[in-house]
Amino acid sequence: MTVVREWLRETHGASFELLRHFLLRFFDSELVTSPGQTAVALIGSSSMFLTWFPFFTGPLKDKYAHLRALATPEPYRWALRADELWLITMMMSAIGLLTAIKWQSLFPTLSDYRAIGWMPVRARQIFGAKLAALLMVATGAVVVLTLLPGVGFPALSGAPVGSTLAALVASCYFMFFALVAIQGVLLNVAPPRRFARVTGSLQAFLAAGMLILLVLSFSIGPPAARWATRPEVARWLPPVWFLGICDPSMHALASRAKLGLAVAAMLVLAAYTVSYRRHRALIVEGVSASVRERRWLGAIFDCLVRDPREQAVMAFLAKGITGDGPHRMILMGYGGFGVAVLLGLLGRRHVVAAPFAYGHVVLLTFLLLGLRHSFSIPVELRANWAFRITEGEGREQWRRAMDRFVIFFVAVAMVVVPLPLELRLLGGRALAEAGMFAMFGLACYQAVFASWEKLPLTCSYLPGKSPMWMVALRLLGLLTALPLLNAVLLACLYNWVLFAGVFGGLVAIWAYLRRSRAGAEVRLKYEEAPDPAIHGLNLGR
H or E segment at 244?
helix 238-246
* Same domain assignment for residues 160 and 21: yes
User: What letter would DSSP give residue 35?
Assistant: T
How far is the C-alpha of 177 from the C-alpha of 272, rounded, in Å? 12
* Same domain assignment for residues 198 and 152: yes
Domain membership of residue 387 (yes or no) is no
* Same domain assignment for residues 232 and 371: no
How far is the C-alpha of 177 from the C-alpha of 69, rounded, in Å? 42
Three-state secondary structure call for residue 268: helix
Which of 238, 269, 285 represents a domain boundary (last residue)?
285
Q: pTM for the whole thing?
A: 0.81
The answer to whether the CB of 137 falls within 8 A of the CB of 28 is no
pLDDT for the residue numbered 131: 86
Domain membership of residue 448 (yes or no) is yes
Domain membership of residue 221 (yes or no) is yes
The answer to whether the CB of 530 falls within 8 A of the CB of 462 is yes
* Same domain assignment for residues 207 and 271: yes
H or E segment at 78?
helix 74-101
* Structural domain for 90, as ranges: 2-285
Give the number of other Cβ atoms within 10 Å of residue 514's Cβ.
Answer: 16
> For the chain, what is the radius of gyration of the CA atoms?
26
* Same domain assignment for residues 345 and 261: no
* Same domain assignment for residues 20 and 132: yes
* Same domain assignment for residues 266 and 330: no
| DSSP for 352-406, written as a single string | TTHHHHHHHHHHHHHHHHHHHHHHTS-S-GGGTHHHHHTHHHHHHHHHHHHHHHH
Three-state secondary structure call for residue 456: coil
The answer to whether the CB of 229 falls within 8 A of the CB of 240 is yes
Give Cβ neighbours of residue 286 (< 8 Å, ≥ 6 apart).
none
How far is the C-alpha of 115 from the C-alpha of 112, rounded, in Å? 5
* Same domain assignment for residues 246 and 333: no
Domain membership of residue 295 (yes or no) is no
How far is the C-alpha of 458 from the C-alpha of 325, rounded, in Å? 13
How far is the C-alpha of 345 from the C-alpha of 359, rounded, in Å? 10
The answer to whether the CB of 336 falls within 8 A of the CB of 209 is yes
* Same domain assignment for residues 262 and 321: no
* Same domain assignment for residues 114 and 236: yes
What's the Cα-to-Cα distance from 520 to each of 317, 388, 405, 452, rounded to whole Å?
Answer: 23, 20, 21, 11
Compute the half-sphere exposure of residue 455: CA atoms within 13 Å on the CB side of its CA: 27
* Total count of domains within the chain: 2
* Same domain assignment for residues 272 and 346: no
- Residue type for 45, please? S
The answer to whether the CB of 204 falls within 8 A of the CB of 329 is yes
* Same domain assignment for residues 83 and 176: yes
pLDDT in tens, the chain (541 residues): 554 455 445 555 677 778 877 777 776 665 555 555 555 555 555 555 666 778 888 889 999 999 988 888 899 999 999 999 999 999 999 999 989 888 878 887 766 766 676 667 777 777 888 888 889 999 988 998 898 899 999 999 988 999 999 999 999 999 999 999 998 888 888 777 777 778 888 888 898 899 899 988 988 999 999 999 998 999 899 999 999 999 888 888 999 999 999 999 999 988 887 776 666 666 655 544 444 545 555 666 667 777 777 888 888 888 888 876 788 888 888 988 888 888 877 765 556 777 888 888 888 899 999 999 888 888 877 777 777 777 666 677 788 888 888 888 887 778 888 888 888 888 888 888 888 888 998 999 999 888 888 888 888 777 766 666 677 788 888 888 888 888 888 888 888 899 999 999 999 999 998 888 776 666 677 777 666 554 444 444 4
pLDDT for the residue numbered 8: 47
Domain membership of residue 524 (yes or no) is no
